[in-house]
Each structure stands twice: as C-alpha cells, then as structure tokens.
Amino acid sequence: MPNLFWVALMSSMVAVLGACGGERGPGSQVMARVNDAEITVSQLRVALKNRAPEAVTQADLHQAVDGLIDEQILYDAALRQKLDRDPQVMQTLEALRRQVLARAYAERTLFPREEISAAHQVEYYKKNPALFQARRIYHMLAYSMPTSRNVALENELTAAHSPQRVAEILRAHQLPAEAQTLTRAAEQLPLDDLPRFQAAAVSDVLITAPTGDSRVLMYIASIEDSPINLEQAQPLIERYLVNVRNEQAVAAFLKQSRSVVKIAYYDAPGANQSREPEPETTLARGLNQGKAVLN
C-alpha cells in the first residue's frame, strides 16, 4: 500500500483508537477490504488493545492491518470448506464463547472498581522485602528428583556443597545426575519457597515440594543482589493486588452461587448415579474455575 495511506492513518488513529467505536461511528471506518469483507478500525482496536495509542507506530499499524487481512483470507477459505459446520470446530467455538462471556461477566460485574491506594502499595512493599528491597537473583543447577520421599537421601544431598558431590550422590542412588542451568529472580519462585531461598547461601541445596510426578533439587551456584525501589515496584504491586482482589471476588461469587444452584457430579459419562459435591471440594473447584476465568 502507498505510504500516503499509512501517513493518513497515523494522523487519525490515536484519537480513533481511544474512542468508543459504534457500528456507524469512528469504529466502523474501513481500513482495508478483502473481496467483500471490510477491515475496520474496531477490528484494529482489538488487535492493538494492549498498546497505548500514542505508542503505536506506523510499522505497528502496517503489521496489524496486514495481519487482519491474512486472517480474513484464511477465514474465507475456512468458510468455503464449511469448517464452521465441523463438529469439532463448533465445539471449540462454543467453548471460546463460554470463556469470553464468563470473563466479560467477571470484568463488568464482579471485579471491584476502586483503585489500590498508594498506602496499600507501600504497605505491601514493606511487608515483602524478599521481593523488593532484598530481592535476589539465583543462579542454580537443577536436578530432577522422584516424588517419593527418601529422608536419608535428602539429608545426604542437603549436606553436599558442590555440584560434583551432588552428582555422585544421585548416581549412587541410580538417579539422573544431569543438571539444567536455571536463573530465577525472587518473584519467579513459588512464594511458599521464597523464605527458604532468602535464607540460603551459595552452595546450599534446596529440594522443592512435589509437582506432578517429580520434584526439583536446586544447587545454588551463585546469588546476585538486585533490589527494586518503591517507585519501580509500585506499578507491579498495584497490578498484583488488583489480580488478587479480582480472583477473590470471583471465588466469593462462585462459592455463594454454588450454595444456591443444584450441582450433581457423575462418575462417568452416561452414568445414572450422581454424587453431591463435598464442601471442601466445592470450594477448591470454585477457586480453580475463578483462576481459569482470570487467565
């Protein structure tokens, strides 16, 4: 497309992307056409929804419009093959529809609107020094461990203070001794494990709790201090606290809703018998569903 098109588009997009597009308003402005299909500003706004309007460059617009054109070409090809009537595709579309509607309800009805106060952000900063003032980056060697506990083996490993000794112990117990190099900042570690890492020193060995069918043994090769000041931390803290608050709101709604709706779990598809949900299981399931909505 000629550069003149992109210059004209750039001159209007900051205002248009920030506006609410109606069917016949600014959002219906046509950016491109693929046969009879129109690519509109509304579609472009969705494609660029994670970008601040003033940060969108000509190259970004070019890439976004071309991406929508490519998508329309593939969409038209799918319709010609009647893939919209394929049972598997229809099931996927219905699942996506449910997810989009569930998230829209959570966002518009359940999520609190109040801002996280600066005082609350400062309080969180002060209460979590391992994530901020005393933040560290850990360089480690990671080894896979079986989930089954072997106290004697674990004691041997935690007493080892070199990768060579760790490998010797693992081989003696017929366990894999190949290490993977990992670098993890404090915020990338499980919060429950963070106090152990904060108290650890170079050459210490830490063993994580079971996850799936394995655990991880971590030999700390080096530690790098990397503090974050309050000004840097506040946007991160605000986003985290908003996410936690939203998750709690969804969990509370699901818990209350499950107390008034009739739910039956069936042991197998087509089975005639059902079972009532156990209270603890109900809450756990509700929390998991709430997290799925937030993600």
Q: pLDDT by residue for the chain (295 residues), tens digit each?
A: 445 455 555 555 555 555 544 444 555 688 899 999 999 988 988 888 877 777 778 888 889 999 999 999 999 999 999 999 999 999 999 999 999 999 999 999 999 999 999 999 999 999 999 999 999 999 999 998 888 878 899 899 999 989 999 999 999 999 988 999 999 999 999 888 999 999 999 999 998 887 777 789 999 999 999 999 999 999 999 999 999 999 999 999 999 999 999 999 887 655 555 555 554 444 444 444 444 433 4
Whether residues 58 and 197 fall in one domain: no
Give the start-end residues of each E strand in the chain. 30-34, 37-40, 136-145, 180-185, 205-207, 215-225, 265-266, 274-275
User: Is 230 among the domain residues?
Assistant: no
Whether residues 20 and 96 fall in one domain: no
Q: What is the DSSP letter of 19?
A: S
Whether residues 216 and 161 fall in one domain: yes
Q: So what's the pLDDT on residue 282? A: 44
Whether residues 123 and 166 fall in one domain: no
Whether residues 259 and 273 fall in one domain: yes
Phi, psi of 216 (to 5 degrees): -125, 130
Print the domain residue range for 153. 136-225
Whether residues 76 and 93 fall in one domain: no
Whether residues 259 and 115 fall in one domain: yes
Number of domains in the chain: 3
User: Is 120 among the domain residues?
Assistant: yes
Residues 140, 219 contacting (CB under 8 angstroms): yes
pTM, 2 dp: 0.67
User: Is 50 among the domain residues?
Assistant: yes
User: Is 145 among the domain residues?
Assistant: yes
β-pair partners for 266: 274
Q: What is the CATH number of the domain that holds 160?
A: 3.10.50
Whether residues 218 and 285 fall in one domain: no
Report the C-alpha dihedral over residues 15, 16, 19, 21, rounded to 10 degrees: 170
Count of alpha carbons within 13 angstroms of residue 204, beta-carbon side: 11
Give the start-end residues of each E strand in 200-285. 205-207, 215-225, 265-266, 274-275
Q: What is the DSSP letter of 208?
A: P
Whether residues 263 and 121 fall in one domain: yes
User: How many whole angstroms separate alpha carbon 125 and alpha carbon 119?
Assistant: 10
User: Is 231 among the domain residues?
Assistant: no
Residue 152, CA distances (Å) to 33, 66, 92, 149, 215 in order: 70, 61, 50, 9, 16
Whether residues 21 and 157 fall in one domain: no
First to last CA, the chain: 37
User: Is 233 among the domain residues?
Assistant: no
Does residue 228 sit in helix, strand or coil?
Answer: coil
Whether residues 36 and 167 fall in one domain: no
Residue 131, CA distances (Å) to 127, 172, 283 in order: 9, 37, 29
Q: So what's the pLDDT on residue 79? A: 96
User: Is 98 among the domain residues?
Assistant: yes
Polymer length of the chain? 295
Whether residues 220 and 273 fall in one domain: no
